[in-house]
């Protein structure tokens, strides 16, 4: 199950860090950030609670880059 | 400019003016410190807040933290050495923020110009409901609706044209500038622009399934797939920052201690200053941003030329390709069989064609189709009877009470007629009438106009080997290979054999290989090759699905063009990597030796990034 989210982040290195952080969240199988399109694609584990996982993803991303926005 | 950028501009301008005023203000001691601190906070407060948050989150080594340390460090130096000179601290942060601002403007500007390139998404559709037109989002149009597209508007959904003729500008999808004519009953692709008269279209797909949506999705996915250079840079970035920061720490501590031990003055401030320079250049943003941006611009530019590259790693491989393998029919040749001549026949070409076409009247074989097309005056169906198709042989039918057999030599043998061979290249259809040989019709497929030029261009670009794989007979294959000056040709192949041939070529270690085919019969070969290029992608989902690179129309000249775009993109990527790394390392060395100041360091950080971003954008205008 893959979903796209609009994001707002200023620097490419921060985006790379957010991508790394998202991959570390449990319930996430894979994550790719397309910095230029300002888009985060998250692939969820089977049966994961998407809402809960995304809350954790936002938290993890805010931790590495306080200045980012993720539209869930 | 975004709101954020405007606010930043305001802060920089205010702080800059105050900073100049401060130079002339007769302030001393604590007053000067206070005023300087005030100006400093105007520009730097967000950096300080972010770095504080970063520390709380356990993210020590981010850019904000580094800038906070560097600028506060410069402040501390001013206090410690008693000079009460805080100019450098303020200037550093002012310069840094200006750099960041430029950077963010450059990035958002380039992002916009690239995404504008892909802006082929239609925003609305005029739907006809109960005889009235209403304008809705293309998402809300069900299959089977009638939509009307005015001249100058984008076709929002795929469908079938009704009633009137018009012409379509397909350049957004194919890069082809010659308009395509549409007649009632023909398929119309979304994303094209209607040029002549209002067009009524009965939709056949929902918006989410429409051509334009699929292409956009593919472009988006393409830019999310990472190439080798991108992966390398990401990995590099992850170790680069900690190493530079570690080096900065060593630079601040080690030399003073060594100096002390050797009995010299420690010069703490000098070394601290040099360490701060290290911190400023420790952000790898220029690399992390400009590499994907170059690929993105390249993919966007290729898209505008009607070439869909499905990922930056294909761009990489295509740029390095050494072997070009082609399918024949429909790729190098037009895939349309045309009747060329009739030989050894007592009948005239048209009379013979009339009989042959009548016998083939119910056949769906391409040969039957081409015979029927070439026949100017078809016989009425009432003249045709007893049609029987013989697998692998041909067709026998009774036409105007004559027994007409149309097929290959074996069929002639069976009919008791002696077939005469043909000295020409092409597909030969023998005809026997009432068991007597009545000559043969020569059908051949003509080369595409641009095939020869495309191949010559590929050779000139340094492709080491050109190969053609075809299911056709040896004579035809060799004639085509000779005309196009191909290095190698393999004929009479089934799709499975083509895969084997491609595998063998890949094992021969000449270099990366790309295969060009039509995407329908060649799907397994497209999948097996290093890069699979499908021709005529527009409207063929199978081709888009199977290939790594899709040429939207069927012009072979776009293959060298795709290679040129890929190569230009890779050149830019290499330039950016080299330039950014050289600038950073030069700055690190000069900084360590005390030859570079803070300004220089900030240029190496933000200036390099801006230059790299601007360079990336060049990939968009590939030719």
Which residues from chain A sit within 8 angstroms of residue B59, using beta carbons?
Answer: 63-64
Nearest CB to A67 within list B50, B57, B285: B50
CB B533 within 8 A of CB B562: yes
Measured N-to-C along each axis, helices B608-617 and B285-304 cross at an angle, to the nearest 10 degrees, of: 10
The model's pLDDT over B174-205, given as tens digits with 9 standing for 90+, comes to 777 778 888 888 888 888 888 888 889 999 98
CB B515 within 8 A of CB B522: yes
Question: What tokens does B32 get?
Answer: 């000067």
- Could B115 and A37 be called an inter-chain contact, meaning their C-beta atoms sit closer than 8 Å? yes
Q: Given a cut of 70, is residue B62 above it in pLDDT? A: no
Which residue is closest to B231 within chain A, CA to CA?
A: A16
- Give the span between the Cα atoms of B465 and B459, in whole angstroms: 8
Mutate to test the interface with B, among A30, A40, A42, A66 (most CBs of B within 10 A): A66
Whether B134 has its CB under 8 Å from any CB of chain A: the answer is no
Question: What tokens does B601 get?
Answer: 């360091």
Mean pLDDT of B598-622: 81
- Could B285 and A41 be called an inter-chain contact, meaning their C-beta atoms sit closer than 8 Å? no
CB B445 within 8 A of CB B336: yes
**What was the pLDDT predicted at B512?**
92
Q: How far is A48 from chain B (nearest CA, A)?
A: 23
Q: Residue B171: which pLDDT band, with cuts at 50, 70 and 90? A: confident
Whether B322 has its CB under 8 Å from any CB of chain A: the answer is no
- Size of the A and B interface in Cβ pairs below 8 Å: 57
pTM over 0.80: no
**What was the pLDDT predicted at B191?**
84
Residues near A38 by beta carbon (within 8 Å), at least 6 away in sequence = A6, A7, A8, A9, B111
B177 assigned to some structural domain: no
Nearest CB to B223 within list A11, A36, A63: A36
- Could B289 and A11 be called an inter-chain contact, meaning their C-beta atoms sit closer than 8 Å? yes
Q: Given a cut of 80, is residue B377 above it in pLDDT? A: yes
Q: Given a cut of 90, is residue B344 above it in pLDDT? A: no
B224 assigned to some structural domain: no
B136 assigned to some structural domain: no
**What was the pLDDT predicted at B453?**
92
Question: What tokens does A72 get?
Answer: 């869930």
When the pLDDT of each residue in chain B is averaged and rounded to a whole number, the result is 84
Which residues from chain B sit within 8 angstroms of residue A11, using beta carbons?
Answer: 63, 283, 285, 289
B113 assigned to some structural domain: no
B200 assigned to some structural domain: no
Task: Report helix, strand or coil for B418.
Answer: coil
Q: Residue B464: which pLDDT band, with cuts at 50, 70 and 90? A: very high
- Domain count of chain B? 1
H or E segment and range at residue B558: helix B558-592
Q: Break chain B down into helix, strand, coil percent, rounded to 5.
A: 55, 20, 30
Nearest CB to B237 within list A13, A65, A67: A13
Q: How far is B491 from chain A (nearest CA, A)?
A: 44
- Could B224 and A34 be called an inter-chain contact, meaning their C-beta atoms sit closer than 8 Å? yes
Q: How far is B131 from chain A (nearest CA, A)?
A: 39
Q: Residue B82: which pLDDT band, with cuts at 50, 70 and 90? A: low
- Give the span between the Cα atoms of B548 and A43, in whole angstroms: 22
B319 assigned to some structural domain: no
B394 lies in which domain range?
338-444
Q: Residue B53: which pLDDT band, with cuts at 50, 70 and 90? A: confident
Which residues from chain B sit within 8 angstroms of residue A14, using beta carbons?
Answer: 62
φ, ψ of residue B387 to 5 degrees: the values are -75, 125
- Give the span between the Cα atoms of B499 and B494, in whole angstroms: 9
- Could A36 and B115 be called an inter-chain contact, meaning their C-beta atoms sit closer than 8 Å? yes
Q: Given a cut of 80, is residue B527 above it in pLDDT? A: yes
Q: Given a cut of 90, is residue B524 above it in pLDDT? A: no
Whether B224 has its CB under 8 Å from any CB of chain A: the answer is yes
The model's pLDDT over A8-64, given as tens digits with 9 standing for 90+, comes to 887 777 788 888 899 999 999 989 888 777 888 899 988 888 889 999 999 888 888
CB atoms within 10 A of CB B278: 24
CB atoms within 10 A of CB B225: 15
Which residues from chain A sit within 8 angstroms of residue B50, using beta carbons?
Answer: 66-67
**What was the pLDDT predicted at B197?**
85
Annotate B452-474 with DSSP letters as a single string.
Answer: HHHHHHHHHTT--EEEEE-SS-H
Q: How far is A40 from chain B (nearest CA, A)?
A: 9
Mutate to test the interface with A, among B51, B118, B223, B224 (most CBs of A within 10 A): B224
Mean pLDDT of B110-131: 77
B420 assigned to some structural domain: yes
Which residue is closest to B295 within chain A, CA to CA?
A: A36
Whether B104 has its CB under 8 Å from any CB of chain A: the answer is yes
Instruction: State the ipTM, two decimals.
Output: 0.72
10 Å CB burial of residue B261 (0-12, 13-18, 19+) is exposed
Residues of B designated catalytic: 327
Best mean pLDDT range from B335-349, B568-582, B608-622: B568-582
B452 assigned to some structural domain: no
- Give the span between the Cα atoms of A56 and A62, in whole angstroms: 10
Q: How far is B288 from chain A (nearest CA, A)?
A: 6
Q: C-alpha angle B329/B333/B338, rounded to 5°? A: 95
Q: Residue B514: which pLDDT band, with cuts at 50, 70 and 90? A: very high
CATH number of the structural domain spanning residue B440: 3.40.1110.10
């Amino acid at each position: 199950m893959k979903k796209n989210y609009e994001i707002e982040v200023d620097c490419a290195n921060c985006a790379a860090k957010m991508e790394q952080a998202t991959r570390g969240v449990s319930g996430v199988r894979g994550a790719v950030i397309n910095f230029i399109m300002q888009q985060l694609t998250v692939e969820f584990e089977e049966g994961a609670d998407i809402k809960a996982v995304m809350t954790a993803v936002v938290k993890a991303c805010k931790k590495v880059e306080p200045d980012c926005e993720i539209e869930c | 400019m975004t709101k954020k950028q405007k606010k930043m501009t305001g802060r920089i301008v205010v702080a800059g003016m105050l900073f100049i005023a401060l130079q002339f203000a007769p302030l001393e001691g604590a007053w000067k410190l206070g005023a300087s601190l005030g100006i400093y906070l105007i520009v730097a407060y967000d950096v300080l807040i972010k770095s504080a948050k970063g520390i709380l989150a356990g993210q020590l080594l981010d850019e904000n933290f580094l800038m906070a340390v560097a600028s506060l460090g410069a402040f501390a130096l001013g206090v410690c050495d008693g000079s009460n000179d805080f100019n450098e601290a303020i200037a550093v942060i002012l310069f840094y923020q200006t750099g960041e601002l430029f950077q963010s403007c450059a990035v958002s500007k380039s992002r916009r110009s690239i995404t504008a390139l892909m802006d082929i998404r239609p925003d609305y559709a005029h739907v006809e409901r109960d005889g009235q037109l209403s304008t809705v989002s293309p998402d809300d149009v069900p299959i089977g609706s009638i939509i009307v597209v005015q001249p100058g508007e984008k076709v929002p959904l795929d469908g079938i044209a009704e009633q009137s003729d018009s012409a379509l500008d397909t350049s957004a999808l194919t890069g082809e500038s010659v308009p395509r004519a549409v007649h009632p009953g023909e398929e119309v692709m979304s994303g094209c622009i209607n040029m002549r008269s209002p067009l009524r279209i009965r939709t056949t797909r929902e918006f989410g399934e429409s051509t334009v949506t699929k292409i956009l999705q593919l472009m988006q996915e393409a830019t999310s797939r990472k190439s080798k250079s991108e992966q390398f840079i990401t990995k590099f970035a992850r170790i680069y920052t900690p190493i530079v920061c570690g080096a900065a720490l060593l630079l601040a501590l080690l030399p003073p201690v060594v100096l002390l031990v050797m009995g010299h003055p420690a010069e703490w401030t000098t070394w601290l200053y040099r360490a701060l320079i290290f911190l400023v250049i420790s952000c790898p943003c220029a690399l992390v941003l400009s590499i994907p941006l170059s690929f993105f611009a390249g993919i966007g530019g290729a898209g505008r030329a009607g070439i869909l590259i499905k990922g930056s790693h294909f761009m990489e491989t295509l740029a390095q390709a050494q072997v070009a393998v082609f399918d024949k029919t429909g790729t190098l040749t037009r895939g349309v069989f045309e009747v060329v001549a009739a030989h050894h026949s007592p009948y005239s070409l048209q009379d013979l064609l009339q009989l042959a076409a009548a016998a083939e009247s119910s056949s769906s074989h391409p040969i039957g189709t081409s015979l029927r097309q070439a026949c100017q005056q078809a016989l009425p169906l009432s003249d045709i009877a007893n049609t029987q198709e013989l697998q692998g042989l041909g067709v026998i039918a009774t036409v105007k009470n004559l027994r007409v057999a149309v097929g290959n030599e074996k069929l002639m043998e069976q009919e008791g007629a002696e077939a005469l061979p043909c000295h020409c290249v092409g597909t030969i259809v023998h005809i026997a009438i009432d068991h007597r040989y009545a000559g043969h019709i020569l059908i051949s497929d003509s080369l595409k106009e641009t095939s020869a030029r495309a191949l010559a261009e590929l050779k000139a670009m340094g492709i080491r080997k050109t190969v053609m794989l075809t299911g056709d007979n040896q004579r035809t294959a060799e004639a085509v290979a000779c005309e196009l000056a191909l290095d190698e040709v393999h004929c009479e192949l089934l799709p499975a054999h083509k895969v084997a041939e491609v595998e063998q070529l890949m094992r021969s270690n000449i270099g990366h290989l790309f295969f060009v085919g039509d995407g329908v019969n060649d799907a397994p070969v497209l999948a097996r090759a290093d890069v699979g290029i499908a021709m005529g992608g527009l409207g063929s989902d199978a081709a888009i699905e199977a290939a790594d690179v899709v040429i939207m129309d069927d012009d072979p000249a776009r293959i060298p063009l795709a290679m040129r775009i890929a190569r230009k993109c890779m050149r830019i990527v290499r330039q950016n990597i080299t330039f950014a790394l050289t600038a950073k390392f030069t700055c690190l060395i000069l900084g360590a030796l005390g030859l570079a100041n803070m300004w220089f360091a900030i240029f190496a950080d933000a200036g390099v990034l801006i230059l790299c971003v601007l360079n990336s954008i060049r990939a968009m205008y590939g030719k």
